[in-house]
Amino acid sequence: MYEKHLMICGATGCLSSGSNQIAEALKEELDKQGIKDKYRLVMGGCPGFCEVGPIIVIYPDEVFYCRLQTKDMAELVETHLIGGEIVEKLLYKGPDVEAPARFYDSIPFYFKQKFNVLRNSGIIDPESIDEYIMRGGYRALRRALQMEPLAICDEVKDAGLRGRGGAGFPTGVKWSFTNKAPGPKKYIVCNADEGDPGAFMDRSILEGDPHAILEGMLIAGRACGADEGYIYCRAEYPLAIRRLITAIQQAEEYGLLGSNILDSGFNFKINIKEGAGAFVCGEETALLASIEGKRGMPRPRPPFPAQVGVFGKPTTINNVETLANIPLIVREGGVAEFASVGTEGSKGTKVFALAGKVRNTGLVEVPMGITIEEIIFDVGGGIQGGREFKAVQAGGPSGGCIPQDLINLPIDYDSLTQAGAIMGSGGLVVMDDRTCMVDLANYFLSFTQKESCGKCTPCREGTKRMLEILDRITEGEGVPEDLDTLDSLAHSIKDSALCGLGQTCPNPVLTTIRYFRHEYEEHINEKFCRSGICKPLFQYQIDQENCNGCRACVRVCPVEAIKGEKKEPHEVIQELCTRCGSCIEKCRQDCIMITRVGSEADVGN
């Protein structure tokens, strides 16, 4: 028996901040002290709080150590493991806690979270099927094997589960379509082609709890009458793929995958298909083409995949997070428990990748219906540097921008759609008052434009024309008619693009025009970017009254564009200034102002 379990976050986020080296240093230290057999070290799944990684949680004490460095390991071993005392300096500290916090229940980041999908992440060894079984794993499969397939579809319908990949279609209804489609050969496809910039929900689920996905696929197979499945995962997720391969091998060894599973007569096999990273392959028909070895391009529907899917056979395609919810629903009493969380039209929880200008970045799982304010301020800890919240981009590059005015908007499928955004796969990018919304729309549209597969004209040509207009506006060459042209092009693309990605890609432009029209007008009519992002549309000026001549800006300017004597107000030489922003970041007096080109107006920073 082990005295303690040392759960180290072994997900990609913490690995990139050095958790492998932490594990090595810890092993070395335990070895040096001759106590390595007393402790169990596990590279577990993601506990979500990526901002403070690398993380170790020590059980059964439940102590949460964060921002670890290899040099801390000697003290952690000597003080905590040998001495039995908590190492205070390695605990979570922040403006949201009065004293260093010991564990989840004392860290505000976790207060409003509810772990359904991430229930095992950071708790089990993701490479152990035994631990998954100990946590109730494969019980829902066992139950599903005793049920009629359509009864499983009905339970999933009754639970109110909607697809977590973007569109929010009711999962049980989708399953029943495939079930009723004629033919003996059917497929289940797990869409793990997570392509939104900054999104890593699916990756974390796959890395932290791969058996949950296999169990979800098996149950889907039973419900739909399928005997084979594909997991389509991007090759940039090598750890997720490695853990899936291990999980599949284990499930086969245990007789939970393969022929006559649990003596039920049900057969199911799972294949992994690695994608090359094209954004469009997240679209279901493009994904199916890619599995078949063809170029990843969408095709018109109908026929829908439930009738004609991969290799021409009826196919159900579900996202990773959708499938991870299935074992919770199909287990005994699962429907009522699942449906007890969320709103009328959006049941359960949703996992979001919280990124941008928020203090606590990371992976969060919250009940549907939580407000934007709660996510950003209670879970996310507010805006970095105490600045003002301006907007949040929900749903990835095809999502929409929700402004500060709608901060009380509940996060559910219907409310987001009404606001012009989409749930998408769950990316939430938070913006502060220094974000230029025209530049932001330009950024997201340039992403979707580059990733357009080119098959349909509205998306291929329309996004290009829209991008040209946005480029002109950010360069100071916008004309008043541009807004109407953008609006008209955006609606044309929405109405006529071939696939969901094309139809939603104008969303960032439409929502920023809807909620931040004045910024577009300021760019076009006054040739001014008050956020100080579009370089041709502003200049830096130093407030002569407040500058104390500390020379911090002079020292940091890479092109020597600031002049002035020590203790005398400085001045920006506009002809030399490249508007790199180094000075404004460095100034402690807040006396570098963003002003109109050639003007003396005081706008403030």
Partner 1 sequence: MEKFVDPCCEKCSHTKDTPCKDFVECCVEGPICHENQECAQKRKNITEKVALDEKFVIS
Q: Does 590 bind partner 1 (CB under 8 A)?
A: no
| Cβ–Cβ < 8 Å for 131, 211 | no
CB of 248 to partner 1, least distance (A): 13
Q: Binding partner 1 by CB under 8 A: which of 3, 31, 37, 252?
A: 252
Q: Toward partner 1, which CB reaches closer, 44 or 478?
A: 44
CB of 215 to partner 1, least distance (A): 10
Residue that is written with structure tokens 């995962």 in the block: 233
Instruction: Kindly compute the dihedral angle of the four CA atoms of residues 392, 396, 401, 405, in this order, to the nearest 10 degrees.
Output: -40
User: Rounded distance, CA 548 to CA 431, Å?
Assistant: 31
Q: Does 141 bind partner 1 (CB under 8 A)?
A: yes
CB of 323 to partner 1, least distance (A): 18
Radius of gyration (Cα) for the chain, nearest Å?
A: 26
Write out the DSSP string of 473-511.
HHTT---TTHHHHHHHHHHHHHHH-SSHHHHHTTHHHHH
Q: Toward partner 1, which CB reaches closer, 249 or 418?
A: 249
Q: Binding partner 1 by CB under 8 A: which of 92, 109, 115, 138?
A: 138
Q: Does 131 bind partner 1 (CB under 8 A)?
A: yes
Binding part of the chain for partner 1, among 182-190, 259-267, 310-318, 389-397 by CB under 8 A, reads 259-267
Binding part of the chain for partner 1, among 121-129, 240-248, 365-373, 500-508 by CB under 8 A, reads 121-129
Local structure of 457: helix, strand or coil: helix
User: Rounded distance, CA 411 to CA 242, Å?
Assistant: 33
Q: Does 267 bind partner 1 (CB under 8 A)?
A: no
Q: Does 372 bind partner 1 (CB under 8 A)?
A: no
- Chain centre to alpha carbon of residue 566: 47
User: Rounded distance, CA 580 to CA 601, Å?
Assistant: 20
Q: Does 443 bind partner 1 (CB under 8 A)?
A: no
* Residue 172 CB-half CA count within 13 A: 17
Q: Toward partner 1, which CB reaches closer, 40 or 180?
A: 40
Q: Does 102 bind partner 1 (CB under 8 A)?
A: no
Q: Does 324 bind partner 1 (CB under 8 A)?
A: no
Pattern 61-100, partner 1, x by CB under 8 A? -x--------------------------------------
Q: Does 263 bind partner 1 (CB under 8 A)?
A: yes
Q: Does 3 bind partner 1 (CB under 8 A)?
A: no
CB of 135 to partner 1, least distance (A): 5
- Angle between helix 457-474 and 507-525 (nearest 10): 30
Q: Toward partner 1, which CB reaches closer, 253 or 292?
A: 253
Q: Toward partner 1, which CB reaches closer, 253 or 565?
A: 253
Q: Binding partner 1 by CB under 8 A: which of 262, 339, 483, 577?
A: 262
Beta partners for residue 233, in sequence order: 192, 274
Binding part of the chain for partner 1, among 82-90, 256-264, 439-447, 577-585 by CB under 8 A, reads 256-264
- Angle between helix 482-496 and 507-525 (nearest 10): 170
Strand pairing category for 187-192 and 315-319: parallel
User: Rounded distance, CA 150 to CA 180, Å?
Assistant: 9
Q: How many residues bind partner 1 (CB under 8 A)?
A: 35
Instruction: Kindly compute the dihedral angle of the four CA atoms of residues 194, 196, 380, 532, in this order, to the nearest 10 degrees.
Output: 160
Q: Does 134 bind partner 1 (CB under 8 A)?
A: yes
Q: Does 2 bind partner 1 (CB under 8 A)?
A: yes
Write out the DSSP string of 565-587.
-TTS--EE-TTT-----HHHHH-
Binding part of the chain for partner 1, among 141-149, 184-192, 456-464, 486-494 by CB under 8 A, reads 141-149
* Residue 81 CB-half CA count within 13 A: 31
User: Rounded distance, CA 15 to CA 11, Å?
Assistant: 6
Pattern 144-163, partner 1, x by CB under 8 A? -x------------------
Residues that bind partner 1 (CB under 8 A): 1-2, 5, 7, 40, 59-60, 62, 123, 125, 128-131, 133-136, 138-139, 141-142, 145, 252-256, 258-264
